[in-house]
């Protein structure tokens, strides 16, 4: 490719000042999401974070503690607010956009390269999605990008103290999502297989590692204390994903969904130049190693999303320098086509991903094409229905009532929304609910949801159908399709201590 022969060099002072468009793009991105994030309700996964945020610990069965801690802070600041609690995810993606533009600047890119990088990242499916919900992947993406940015500064300036920042973000990443280990594997391989191996004998390299370990240490201690239950969770979820075909199309989706599809030639050029450029070759391995490892392990496509901003940045820089060698007509024509294509793909992705409208054809299009949006609907109605069933019971049954749920979405919704109806804290053997234990006082009546009639009869006596989990919009989602029935049952067939021995259940 012609662009690969163009040398990468530092930005001039004037080019450094041109980072302003990147800040404007990030601000517009943030405002757009703040205006749309109040639609529908919380996603099933968000209910899990919200319930865990009420009982902070140094770890949870599905994930490390940082995301729940941020959600705890959000609850203190905003209460149960969709826009407020999702603000942290929006800010994380804004920082991803800014850091991506700064990577292009630090690689020598001018205003065009920085702007294209920021726009291409902002209009990529994953940042668009991670800004619509409060998910640990929202922050995992940020740490990957910040590690890449610090690595660029490390290599560009040959300043080994950047290892401290890399260690900081690596530690935060490990406190966010365990897949950070795959990115760190890329960092380590990149160091050992390139000229960056000189840092291994530098004290700042080891200081960075110590910082990462120190930050991760509380969760590591929690894992040891709980027999590495999160590892068993990840094994179970991975087996489920592979069985259900969720890991299929990994390489295809790197192009379709990992980054903006129209920017694929740019990030491919960036990856090629990283390999060709001896000074920055470490970053090529930081892309290739996680992708290959996840491909071999049959991971899901979005696990590698944090690797694309750094290759986009380099691709934009060398493409900008290549465009400068062309005649003005070709230069402006190709640049306009690139931006138009990225915007076209981004608009289509936005219509599918972002909850733009609460009614009408735009809402219908999004709900038809986005299963995650459908999982945000109906939770208030489920909790209200459970309260209605409770209120219809005789007083003596209400006095010894438990609510048993089959998944973490139901657990979180009843734990938080149920407070307004004075519902008891739900009982669950799923994920961290299992660690919280079973009722210590005898209960004679149970409302059971998230279960089949056969399963309810297996665990409880005298089960009868008492209601359904339908929503007013008639939206088909997991609650209405997979387990739409709500039962009222008598006591358990076996003691809770016996039932708990079969847990935990992973979901």
Average pLDDT in the 220-238 region?
A: 97
Determine the pLDDT at residue 10: 57
pLDDT in tens, 86-134: 999 999 999 999 999 999 999 999 999 999 999 999 999 999 999 999 9
The DSSP secondary-structure symbol of 185 reads H
Decide if pLDDT at 483 tops 70: yes
Quote the mean pLDDT of the chain: 95
DSSP 338-352: HHHHHHHHHHHHHHH
401-404 vs 445-449, strand pairing mode = parallel
Determine the pLDDT at residue 16: 53
28 vs 24: CA distance, rounded Å: 6
Query: Would you say 349 and 131 are in contact if contact means Cβ atoms under 8 Å apart?
Result: no
- Ranking 86-90, 319-323, 342-346, 468-472 by mean pLDDT, the lowest is 468-472
241 vs 234: CA distance, rounded Å: 10
pLDDT tier at 11 (50, 70, 90 boundaries)?
low
Helix, strand or coil, per DSSP, at residue 215: helix
Determine the pLDDT at residue 6: 47
Q: What angle do CA 184, 187, 190 make, to 5 degrees?
A: 150
420 vs 482: CA distance, rounded Å: 27
- Ranking 251-260, 293-302, 452-461, 468-477 by mean pLDDT, the lowest is 468-477
Q: How far is CA 278 from CA 11, 160, 282, 397, in A?
A: 19, 18, 8, 73
């Amino acid at each position: 490719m012609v662009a690969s022969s163009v040398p990468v060099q530092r930005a001039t002072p004037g080019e450094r000042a041109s980072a302003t468009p990147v800040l404007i793009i990030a601000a517009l991105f943030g405002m757009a999401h703040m205006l749309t994030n109040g639609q529908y309700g919380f996603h099933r996964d968000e209910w899990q974070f919200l319930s865990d945020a009420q009982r902070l610990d140094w770890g949870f069965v599905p994930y490390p503690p940082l995301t729940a801690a941020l959600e705890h802070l959000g609850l203190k600041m905003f209460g149960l607010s969709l826009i407020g609690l999702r603000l942290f995810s929006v800010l994380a993606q804004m920082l991803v956009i800014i850091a991506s533009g700064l990577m292009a600047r630090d690689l020598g890119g001018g205003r065009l390269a920085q702007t294209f990088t920021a726009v291409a990242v902002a209009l990529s499916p994953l940042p668009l999605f991670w800004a619509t919900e409060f998910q640990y992947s929202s922050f995992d993406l940020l740490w990957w990008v910040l590690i890449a940015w610090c690595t660029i500064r490390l290599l560009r300036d040959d300043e080994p103290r950047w290892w401290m920042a890399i260690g900081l973000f690596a530690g935060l990443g490990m406190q966010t999502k365990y897949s950070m280990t795959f990115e760190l594997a890329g960092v380590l391989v990149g160091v050992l297989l390139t000229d960056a191996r000189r840092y291994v004998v530098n004290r700042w390299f080891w200081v960075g590692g110590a910082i990462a370990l120190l930050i991760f240490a509380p969760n590591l201690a929690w894992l040891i204390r709980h027999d590495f239950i999160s590892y068993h969770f990840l094994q179970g979820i991975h087996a489920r994903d592979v069985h259900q075909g969720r890991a299929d199309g990994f390489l295809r989706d790197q192009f379709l969904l990992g980054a903006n599809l129209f920017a694929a030639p740019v990030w491919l050029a960036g990856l090629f130049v990283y390999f060709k450029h001896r000074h920055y070759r470490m970053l090529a391995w930081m892309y290739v190693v996680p992708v290959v490892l996840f491909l071999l392990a049959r991971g899901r496509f979005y696990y590698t999303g944090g690797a694309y901003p750094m290759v986009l940045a380099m691709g934009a820089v060398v493409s900008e320098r290549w465009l400068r060698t062309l005649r003005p007509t070709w230069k402006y024509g190709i640049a306009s086509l690139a931006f138009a294509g990225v915007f076209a793909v981004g608009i289509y992705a936005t219509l599918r991903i972002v909850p733009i409208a609460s009614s009408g054809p735009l809402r219908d299009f999004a709900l038809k094409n986005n299963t995650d949006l459908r999982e945000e609907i109906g939770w208030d109605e489920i909790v209200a229905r459970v309260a209605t069933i409770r209120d219809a019971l005789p007083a003596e049954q209400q006095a010894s009532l438990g609510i048993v749920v089959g998944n973490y979405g139901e657990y979180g919704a009843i734990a938080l929304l149920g407070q307004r109806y004075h519902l008891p804290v739900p009982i669950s053997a799923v994920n961290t609910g299992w660690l919280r234990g079973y009722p210590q006082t005898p209960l004679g009546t149970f409302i059971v949801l998230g279960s089949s009639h056969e399963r309810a009869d297996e665990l409880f006596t005298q089960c009868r159908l008492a209601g359904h989990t339908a929503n007013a919009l008639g939206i088909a989602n997991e609650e209405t399709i997979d387990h739409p029935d709500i039962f009222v049952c008598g006591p358990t067939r076996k003691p809770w201590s016996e039932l708990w021995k079969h847990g935990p259940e992973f979901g």
